[in-house]
Structure 1
Amino acid sequence: MSWRMPSETHPHDRTWIAFPREGLTLGETAAEREEGYVTWTAVAAAVARFEPVTMVVDPSEVERARRSLPGDVTLLEAPVDEFWMRDHGPTFVVDDARPGVLGAVDWIFNGWGAPDWARWQDSAAHARLIAEHVGAELVSSVLVNEGGGIHVDGEGTVLLTESVQLDPRRNPFADRTRVEAEMSRTLGATRAVWLSRGLTRDYDDMGTNGHVDIVAAIPSPGRVLLHDQRDASHPDHAVTAQLRAELAAQTDAAGRTFEIIDLPAPATLTDAHGPVDWSYVNHLVVNGGVIACGFGEARADATARRILAEAYPEREVVTVDARPLFSRGGGIHCITQQQPTVVP
């Protein structure tokens, strides 16, 4: 097998999302739950403007999903507990030696390190479910990993963070060599670019311990969009400076030094729980578009749209308010997973 994970800019057949269901993540009050439903629905509607969307829906939420979602969103009924599809769902790959073949990597998912509060057993089955549904070959992995913990350029480069793949709560016996071998086998990665960590808020009890897709993304080979916290009073000011230095010292699979494109953070620094991790890096590329996180700041949101439009030429950038997602632990990229088009 010669599996390879295409860049997110590769054409998509569809985007996969999981519809939220009642529980700790969605919220304790009726207003909090409604806010979550509205936001997941808004993201699905934005994506559906550009490409097909399939939503995995728990049986308890089917009627609500049918009422809420646009009619062109396809529903797939299955048990759901967590609904961060990027993390618990399949990572799709192609086989360059076998045109037309789609693969689906089934990482082990343990709720971001098996914290006491997490419930993940139902959603951990979605990779196999979806692979069977679309006729993809299942690529089983013994690595505990999430789709938000990796980012690729489609040409052999993968971004990783030491605090995710080498997290003892995930992979207590792993080291860089073992992780890199598995990234090569499953994703076709020939060059692993290791970052030391993620953003500060991501290390809270309900965080992911440093997912890369909130700090760095590769819009095209040789270029990296990097979260840029410019306020020195925010702890991520030092973090992003550190990450910039780490990226500048490394090269991609083709031996290129990275052109680093700063993506400034919004002006808001804190919420009721401390420093925020609001990041425009956590966007989704779709066919002909980019679904960008918005944070209710007209100037900052517009700046992000401009930078993303320049990074992804000839794509329409659409902003969706992502604050309700970030308050629950993630962003637009975190709740979505692209299925690449395979050419016969």
Structure 2
Amino acid sequence: MAWRMPAETAPHDRIWMAFPREGEVMGDSSAAREATYDAWTTVAHAILPFEPVTMVVDPSERERARRMLSADIDIVEAPLDDFWMRDFGPTFVIDDATGERGGVDWIFNAWGQGADCENDALIAARILDELGLARVPSLLVNEGGGIHVDGEGTVLVTETVQLDPDRNPWATKERVEAELARTLGVETAIWLPRGLTRDYDELGTRGHVDIVATFASPGRVLVHAQHDPAHPDHAVMPAIHDALRAATDARGRSLELIELPAPAQLRDEEGFVDYSYVNHLVVNGGVIACGFGDDAADARARDILRDAYGREVVTVDAREIFARGGGIHCITQQQPRAGLATLAGGDAAGAGDR
């Protein structure tokens, strides 16, 4: 098989998510737990007008999920440790020659942190079995939030994720690139030096690219911008921007950078925030964008995303998700539509495609 990961802008069959379950990540109060359930549920319901949603639910949360979720959301029961579907779920791929779909089953070791993840590590295989799709095994420790592809042979990655010694202690760029070529069909990897500052805290991923930069379309990259010098990411972002400006993609193009400025809030009770509008989800005919309670900044981000994608943009308050260690993109995973792998970029799923 010659597998290829379509761009997120290509048409989807559905979005996969995982329903929250009791545990440390949810917080130490009933209010925090309820806020977590509400945040995940709100995202799922925001996606529904654009495309179907399937929610993986731990058996312990069966009754709550059925009570909180729309009857239009499909439920698949499976044991869970956590609820970051982007990272432990399958990365869906397509064979262009046959139209067959599959999913890459990366090794998942809880972002290199060694936390309990035995159930989550099996979710990709469970979903692929549920769908009857081919499983593409990989010996690379990787997460879906650690990659972004343009659908035309280019992938964005960060040196502190795939080369993390707690993930892949013997990895080199050449070995990683060879495995990404085999599993995702990419020819060119653009290596960014790191991620955002908060992402290196206890609940962080150590540099996921999906909070830093993403392809709006081939040759065009939406990139986080922190213009306030009081925030440590103000000093972090220039090197990331420089790496993108110096890069060329698989088709030999220089990249057009489209800045997504951060909201005004700099800190929460834990320290400097990593609020980023880059961590959005592209859906059929729309974009589900993160909101941060900053009306002016949220509106500016909507305008930028609308112009970049030519799609309707819906903002969902993502502060409770970020408080748990991620964003809207981190809790979702797109399943590409069958038979449309050869359509380049995002042109196949315009504003009217549902």
**Do these two structures clear the TM 0.5 threshold for a shared fold by scoring above it?**
yes
Equivalent AA in structure 2 for residue 149 of structure 1:
G
Q: Following superposition, which runs of at least 4 residues in structure 1 exceed 3 angstroms of deviation?
A: none
Percent of counterpart pairs with the same letter?
65
Give the whole-Å Cα distance in 2 for the aligned partners of 1:205 and 1:176: 26
Counterpart residue number, 1:208:
205
What are the within-5 Å matches in structure 2 for residues 27-106 of structure 1? 27-99=27-99, 101-106=100-105
Give the whole-Å Cα distance in 2 for the aligned partners of 1:126 and 1:274: 32
Counterpart residue number, 2:345:
none
Query: Which residues of structure 1 form unaligned runs of 5+?
Result: none
Give the whole-Å Cα distance in 1 for the aligned partners of 2:92 and 2:160: 23
Counterpart residue number, 2:306:
309
Residue 323 in structure 1 maps to residue 323 in structure 2: no
Residue 154 of structure 1 deviates from its aligned partner by: 0.4
Residue 26 of structure 1 deviates from its aligned partner by: 1.1
Give the whole-Å Cα distance in 2 for the aligned partners of 1:30 and 1:110: 28
User: Which residue of the other structure, out of 336, 339, 352, is the alignment partner of 1:343?
Assistant: 339
Equivalent AA in structure 2 for residue 107 of structure 1:
W
Partner of 2:244: helix, strand, or coil? helix
Query: Which residues of structure 2 form unaligned runs of 5+?
Result: 341-354
Residue 114 of structure 1 deviates from its aligned partner by: 2.6
Q: Is the 8 A contact 1:82 1:119 kept in 2?
A: no
TM-score (norm 1): 0.98
Counterpart residue number, 2:347:
none
| 1:280-321 C-alpha deviation (Å, 9 max, x unpaired) | 0000000011000000010000000000000111x1100000
What are the within-5 Å matches in structure 2 for residues 173-188 of structure 1? 173-188=170-185
Residue 191 of structure 1 deviates from its aligned partner by: 0.3
Counterpart residue number, 1:290:
287
Residue 166 in structure 1 maps to residue 172 in structure 2: no
Residue 32 of structure 1 deviates from its aligned partner by: 0.4
Give the whole-Å Cα distance in 1 for the aligned partners of 2:31 and 2:65: 17
Give the whole-Å Cα distance in 2 for the aligned partners of 1:134 and 1:297: 40
Give the whole-Å Cα distance in 1 for the aligned partners of 2:265 and 2:35: 20
Give the whole-Å Cα distance in 2 for the aligned partners of 1:37 and 1:120: 20
| 1:12-58 C-alpha deviation (Å, 9 max, x unpaired) | 00000000000001111110000000000000000111100000000
| 1:62-112 C-alpha deviation (Å, 9 max, x unpaired) | 10000001110000001011110000000000001112x111000000000
TM-score (norm 2): 0.95
Equivalent AA in structure 2 for residue 316 of structure 1:
E
Give the whole-Å Cα distance in 2 for the aligned partners of 1:195 and 1:13: 31
Give the whole-Å Cα distance in 2 for the aligned partners of 1:199 and 1:66: 36
Equivalent AA in structure 2 for residue 321 of structure 1:
D
Give the whole-Å Cα distance in 2 for the aligned partners of 1:119 and 1:228: 34
Counterpart residue number, 2:111:
112
Work out the number of aligned pairs and report it: 340
Partner of 2:17: helix, strand, or coil? strand
Counterpart residue number, 1:280:
277
| 1:106-150 C-alpha deviation (Å, 9 max, x unpaired) | 0000000034xx331111111000001111100000000000000
Give the whole-Å Cα distance in 1 for the aligned partners of 2:63 and 2:288: 26
Give the whole-Å Cα distance in 2 for the aligned partners of 1:280 and 1:120: 28
Give the whole-Å Cα distance in 2 for the aligned partners of 1:24 and 1:297: 28
Counterpart residue number, 2:350:
none
Give the whole-Å Cα distance in 2 for the aligned partners of 1:41 and 1:124: 23
Alignment RMSD (CA, Å): 0.8
Residue 274 of structure 1 deviates from its aligned partner by: 1.0
Give the whole-Å Cα distance in 2 for the aligned partners of 1:144 and 1:333: 19
Equivalent AA in structure 1 for residue 327 of structure 2:
G
Equivalent AA in structure 2 for residue 106 of structure 1:
D
Counterpart residue number, 1:233:
230
Q: Is the 8 A contact 1:16 1:338 kept in 2?
A: yes
